[in-house]
């Protein structure tokens, strides 16, 4: 696979060729490991190495920093195609691209970009640390404290539900430097795994996307150099808001991929499964259900691609991102549920893939902004327009 990164870089201007390359990789390299990774609740380390070799961990990163120099839409296509096979691998690549790398591209200074972007594209896994036990939907209620000690900051507190934390070596962490200023005291920090006073805590045992690590982070007098402050002090809330808008499109792409995987498996199954002397695909009631699944799938796809293209064109995409995440996650649950129904008893067993798609899709309505928060965002933006 030594020539793979170059091959993918060449393909990045051709959406169909790029999608085909990712699909071939996902089918050949990811699919054989899906069951094992789900059972063991861990992404195969060898597969992570291949994500880097494929150029999948720095899709938007400029070539001058060792990335593919492609677009946000291409990142979403990769997330979608991986989600079609495994939701855990999909979100693993998604967080690296749509959250962490995007934040570095927009908010990091030149020295930080030079230091971190190459290793994020080619070598080290990253994680985005915003949520805490007291701050889920109310993201700015975070209590992680950052004290200015002159040459460095000292962080104390903890984070919860942090994706990719088990594998990550670089963490984009949000803490408050001045609680009297409320959310305007929030600041972003680049924390390396070996910083004194920092530790990755327990890994959550989850319903779905089990191979994707979700951990707590512990900060006990964690020392962070001043030069690892990302953006301006007190402007971390802006980084968080704008990055999550991009991240929601990525989650939309993940949900789209999971939906596509469930749909494809269902089409194959109803063609081969016979009842009353004919295949399930011959029954009109089944055909109608399949049609509903297809319509929901394409509706989600239009929302996700529209939001991604708006982002790439530099237009306001916040409303489109909220709608993309809301619609894609809701439709994913409906599509995967129908898939289980059409598989019948087989759909309730782990021998067939739709059981896992059904488990994996639920989190789409929870992380990176719940469905209720997306509804609130959509209404607020429409009423203030």
Instruction: Please state the domain count of the chain.
Output: 3
- 305 and 367 inside one domain: yes
Question: Tens digit of pLDDT for each residue in 222-240?
Answer: 999 999 999 999 999 999 9
- 190 and 289 inside one domain: no
Rounded average pLDDT over 140-145: 93
pLDDT at residue 63 is higher than 70: yes
- 167 and 86 inside one domain: no
- 245 and 374 inside one domain: yes
Structural domain including 166 reads 127-234
CB 57 within 8 A of CB 97: yes
- 264 and 310 inside one domain: yes
- 286 and 248 inside one domain: yes
- Tell me, what CATH number does 262's domain have? 1.20.140.10
Predicted pLDDT of residue 8? 53
Question: Tens digit of pLDDT for each residue in 132-142?
Answer: 998 888 888 99
- 206 and 91 inside one domain: no
Last residue of a domain, one of 104, 125, 146: 125
- 92 and 155 inside one domain: no
How many residues are present in the chain? 385
Coil/strand/helix, residue 41? coil
Coil/strand/helix, residue 192? strand
3-state secondary structure 330-379: HHHHHHHHHHHHHHHHHHHCCCCCHHHHHHHHHHHHCCCCCHHHHHHHHH
Coil/strand/helix, residue 247? helix
- 64 and 174 inside one domain: no
Rounded average pLDDT over 8-12: 49
The Cα diameter of the chain in Å comes to 79
Structure tokens at 214: 């979700």
- Tell me, what CATH number does 55's domain have? 1.10.540.10
Residue 92 CB: number of other CB atoms within 10 A? Answer: 27
Predicted pLDDT of residue 385? 75
- 88 and 31 inside one domain: yes
pLDDT at residue 9 is higher than 80: no
Rounded average pLDDT over 350-363: 98
Last residue of a domain, one of 186, 202, 234: 234
Question: Tens digit of pLDDT for each residue in 64-111?
Answer: 999 999 999 999 999 999 999 999 999 999 999 999 999 999 999 999
Coil/strand/helix, residue 162? strand
CB 203 within 8 A of CB 41: yes
CA–CA distance, 346 with 20 (Å, rounded to integer): 30
pTM score, two decimals?
0.96
- Tell me, what CATH number does 152's domain have? 2.40.110.10
The H-or-E segment that residue 199 falls in is strand 198-203
- 284 and 323 inside one domain: yes
pLDDT at residue 7 is higher than 50: no
* Nearest alpha-carbon partner for 249 in 207, 297, 300, 208: 300
In this prediction, residue 120 has a pLDDT band, given cuts at 50, 70 and 90, of: very high
In this prediction, residue 12 has a pLDDT band, given cuts at 50, 70 and 90, of: low
Question: Tens digit of pLDDT for each residue in 174-229?
Answer: 999 999 999 999 999 999 999 999 999 999 999 999 999 999 999 999 999 999 99
> What percent of the chain has pLDDT above 70?
97
Residue 95 CB: number of other CB atoms within 10 A? Answer: 27
| Alpha carbon separation from 293 to 160, 312, 342, 348 (Å, rounded) | 35, 29, 11, 19
The H-or-E segment that residue 189 falls in is strand 186-192
CB 29 within 8 A of CB 50: yes
Question: Tens digit of pLDDT for each residue in 20-34?
Answer: 999 999 999 999 999
pLDDT at residue 311 is higher than 80: yes
Predicted pLDDT of residue 13? 66
- 379 and 245 inside one domain: yes
Catalytic residues: 368
Last residue of a domain, one of 72, 91, 125: 125
Higher pLDDT, 16 or 289: 289
Coil/strand/helix, residue 128? strand
Predicted pLDDT of residue 140? 84
């Amino acid at each position: 696979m030594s020539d793979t990164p170059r091959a993918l870089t060449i393909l990045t201007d051709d959406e169909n060729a790029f999608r085909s390359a990712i699909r071939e990789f996902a089918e050949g390299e990811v699919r054989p490991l899906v069951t094992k990774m789900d059972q063991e609740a861990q992404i195969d380390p060898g597969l992570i190495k291949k994500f880097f070799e494929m150029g999948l961990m720095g899709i938007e990163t400029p070539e001058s920093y060792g990335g593919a120099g492609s677009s946000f839409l291409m990142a979403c296509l990769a997330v979608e195609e991986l989600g079609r096979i495994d939701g855990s691998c999909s979100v693993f690549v998604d967080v690296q691209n749509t959250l962490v790398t995007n934040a570095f591209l927009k908010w990091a200074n030149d020295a930080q970009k030079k230091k971190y972007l190459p290793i994020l594209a080619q070598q080290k896994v990253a994680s985005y640390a915003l949520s805490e036990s007291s701050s889920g939907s109310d993201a700015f209620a975070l209590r992680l404290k950052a004290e200015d000690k002159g040459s460095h900051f000292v962080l104390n507190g903890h984070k919860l539900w942090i994706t990719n934390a088990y594998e990550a070596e670089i963490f984009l962490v949000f803490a408050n430097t001045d609680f009297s200023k409320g959310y305007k005291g929030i600041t972003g920090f680049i924390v390396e795994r070996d910083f004194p006073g920092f530790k990755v805590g327990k890994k959550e045992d989850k319903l779905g996307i089990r191979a994707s690590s979700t951990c707590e982070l512990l900060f006990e007098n964690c020392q962070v150099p001043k030069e690892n402050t990302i953006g301006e002090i007190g402007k971390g809330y802006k980084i968080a808001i704008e990055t999550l808008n991009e991240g929601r499109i990525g989650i939309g792409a993940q949900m789209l991929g999971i939906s596509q995987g469930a749909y494809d498996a269902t089409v194959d199954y109803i063609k081969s499964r016979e009842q009353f002397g004919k295949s399930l695909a011959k029954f009109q009631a089944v055909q109608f259900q399949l049609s509903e699944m297809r319509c929901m799938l394409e509706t989600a796809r239009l929302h996700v691609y529209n939001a991604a293209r708006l982002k790439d064109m530099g237009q306001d995409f916040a409303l489109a991102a909220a709608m993309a995440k809301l619609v894609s996650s809701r439709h994913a649950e409906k599509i995967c549920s129908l898939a289980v129904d059409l598989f019948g008893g087989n759909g309730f067993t782990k021998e067939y893939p739709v059981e896992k798609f059904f488990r994996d899709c639920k989190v789409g309505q929870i992380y990176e902004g719940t469905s209720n928060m997306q509804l609130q965002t959509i209404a607020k933006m429409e009423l203030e327009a």
